[in-house]
């Protein structure tokens, strides 16, 4: 690797700090560091940050629990038939680092059991297994990891015999990474000879899956719909036949599971329309008037929050695959090597990660079926150890749902 070319690149982007410890490295380490720097796309971190534009935000119709109940059996049999015809695959988004939880290793390997072992991955697989039992067909389960947890995730599934799932239907793929920086946009070193890289957000899942050859693989099996879901919701219902049936029957390119807001000011991303397209508006982008605005039926007009469980039509995903997703700059805890060469593991967010988010894919679609689910039965995210959306609250919800811990 040509040192002077790399140095020039760093000078151009004002990132020379990356060579601070260069002289201390062995020849081999020097080569690795230069290659890593060569691969950095500094334009990405200098890119324009996504700022929610004003757009014309209006409420979206959501299929409520009552409406679902009226057609439940019809939706269920339609969904089951689609699953039996191998039209549905599930994609588990497990590439995140779970920095708020602060554990090492894959989040899905967290044991939520109290008297026995019950891992997050296990809860998810067991939920999918219920659908397999009902349909009598295995569904492809694709698991997105990142370089940070890929091997551990695969080993974990292997060590637990895939929690009883048919391993022939399980595939892993690795998402892409982006450099992590301090708050001034300076890329951190994670070791003296390694730059700090972190997963580039959950929005890259479709492209990474395509690059791994898995899209072609599942399409060849007949897959036309993909249910993506977050790793940390232990009550997550995956490829839920009623949801599948309702979405397919609706003629929309996506279905989004939503929960009714607990209060107008609840901090959830709200499903709505923006300039006529489905969109998720963050709670801080809803004006106070909108927060309390009422619909004709007397309920809140912006009343439904998303839970990161979407059913996408593959054809429509393919048409947006080449479009650039907006860049989100997120405040996170980023371990780094300080000026004196010490490794620092911060307790509080100290830096920026650069992410594309799946919610931006929603806005690229022509329509969306919002599909209401019961929060107490389907939404127990584990973001923190204690408090709101935590291991503690998820344990309580699991046991309220009759899961033995
Ligand atoms: P979160 O936004 O909660 O991020 O991810 P996180 O990395 O898990 O946790 P924090 O914010 O650092 O505490 C929502 C879902 O998206 C996945 C996560 O694994 C989770 O299922 N995700 C997130 C990815 O697959 N890749 C990413 O780069 C980021």
- pLDDT, tens only, 69-102: 999 999 999 999 999 999 999 999 999 988 899 8
**pLDDT above 80: residue 312:** yes
For atom 23 of ligand 1, the residue with the nearest CA is: 96
For ligand 1, atom 1, name the residue with the nearest CA: 96
What integer is the mean pLDDT of 358-375?
95
Residue (of 325, 368, 294, 245) closest to 49 by Cα position: 325
Separation between Cα atoms, residue 43 and residue 175, nearest integer Å: 19
Whether 230 is in the pocket of ligand 1, judged by its Cβ within 6 Å, is: yes
Helix, strand or coil, per DSSP, at residue 93: strand
Asked if pLDDT for residue 267 goes beyond 80, the answer is: yes
What pLDDT score was predicted for residue 167?
A: 97
* Percentage with pLDDT > 90 across the chain: 85
pLDDT at residue 51 above 70? Answer: no
Are 93 and 358 in contact, with CB atoms under 8 Å apart?
A: yes
User: Tell me, what's the pLDDT at 54?
Assistant: 66
Output the CA 203–ligand 1 centroid distance in Å: 10
Q: Report how far ligand 1's centroid is from the alpha carbon of 107 (Å).
A: 9
Q: List the beta bridge partners of residue 63.
A: 371
Query: What is the rounded radius of gyration, in angstroms, for the C-alpha atoms of the chain?
Result: 22
Q: What is the DSSP letter of 119?
A: B
Q: How many angstroms does the Cα of residue 238 sit away from the middle of ligand 1?
A: 18
Nearest to 203 by CA among 38, 28, 324, 61: 324
Q: Is 80 exceeded by the pLDDT of residue 47?
A: no
C-beta 384 within 6 A of ligand 1: no
Please provide residue 225's backbone torsions phi and psi, each rounded to the nearest 5 degrees.
-135, 145
Nearest one of 120, 90, 91 to 390, comparing CA atoms? 120
Task: State residue 344's pLDDT score.
Answer: 97
For the CA of 92, the closest atom of ligand 1 is 21
d(CA 41, CA 284): 31
- Does the C-beta of 59 come closer than 6 Å to ligand 1? no
What's the mean pLDDT in 325-337? 92
Closest CA to 254 of 74, 86, 60, 66: 60
Cβ burial of 253 (10 Å; 0-12, 13-18, 19+) is: buried
């Amino acid at each position: 690797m040509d040192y002077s070319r790399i140095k020039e690149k760093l000078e151009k982007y004002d990132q020379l700090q990356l060579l601070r410890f260069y002289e201390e490295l062995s020849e081999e380490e020097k080569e690795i560091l230069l290659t890593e720097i060569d691969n950095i796309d500094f334009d990405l971190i200098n890119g324009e940050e996504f700022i929610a534009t004003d757009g014309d935000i209006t409420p979206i119709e959501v299929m409520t629990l009552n409406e679902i109940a009226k057609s439940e059996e019809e939706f269920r049999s339609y969904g089951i038939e689609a699953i039996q015809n191998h039209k549905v695959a599930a994609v588990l988004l497990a590439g995140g680092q779970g920095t708020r939880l602060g554990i090492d290793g894959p989040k899905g390997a967290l044991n939520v059991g109290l008297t026995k072992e019950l891992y997050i991955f296990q809860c998810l697989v067991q939920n999918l297994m219920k659908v397999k039992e009902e349909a009598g067909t295995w569904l492809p389960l694709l698991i997105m990891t990142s370089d940070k947890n890929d091997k551990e995730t695969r080993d974990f599934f292997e060590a637990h015999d895939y929690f009883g799932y048919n391993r022939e239907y399980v595939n892993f793929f690795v998402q892409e990474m982006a450099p992590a920086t301090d708050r001034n946009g300076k890329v951190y070193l994670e070791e003296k000879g390694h730059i700090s890289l972190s997963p580039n957000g959950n929005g890259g899942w479709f492209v990474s899956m395509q690059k791994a050859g898995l899209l072609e693989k599942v399409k060849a099996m007949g897959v036309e719909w993909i249910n993506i879901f977050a790793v940390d919701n232990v009550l997550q219902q995956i490829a839920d036949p009623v949801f599948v049936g309702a979405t397919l029957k609706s003629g929309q390119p996506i279905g989004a599971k939503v929960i009714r807001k607990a209060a107008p000011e609840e901090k959830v991303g709200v499903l709505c329309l923006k300039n006529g397209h489905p969109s998720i508006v963050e709670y801080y982008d809803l004006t106070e008037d909108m927060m309390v605005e009422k619909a004709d039926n007397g309920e809140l007009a912006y009343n439904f929050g998303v839970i990161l469980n979407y059913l996408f039509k593959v054809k429509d995903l393919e048409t947006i695959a080449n479009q650039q997703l907006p860049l989100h700059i997120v405040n996170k805890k980023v371990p780094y090597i300080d000026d004196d060469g010490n490794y620092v593991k911060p307790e509080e967010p100290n830096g920026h990660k650069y992410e594309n988010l799946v919610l931006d894919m929603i806005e690229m679609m022509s329509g969306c079926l919002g599909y209401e689910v019961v929060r107490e039965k389907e939404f127990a995210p584990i973001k923190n150890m204690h408090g709101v959306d935590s291991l503690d609250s998820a344990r309580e919800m699991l046991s309220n749902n009759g899961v033995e811990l």
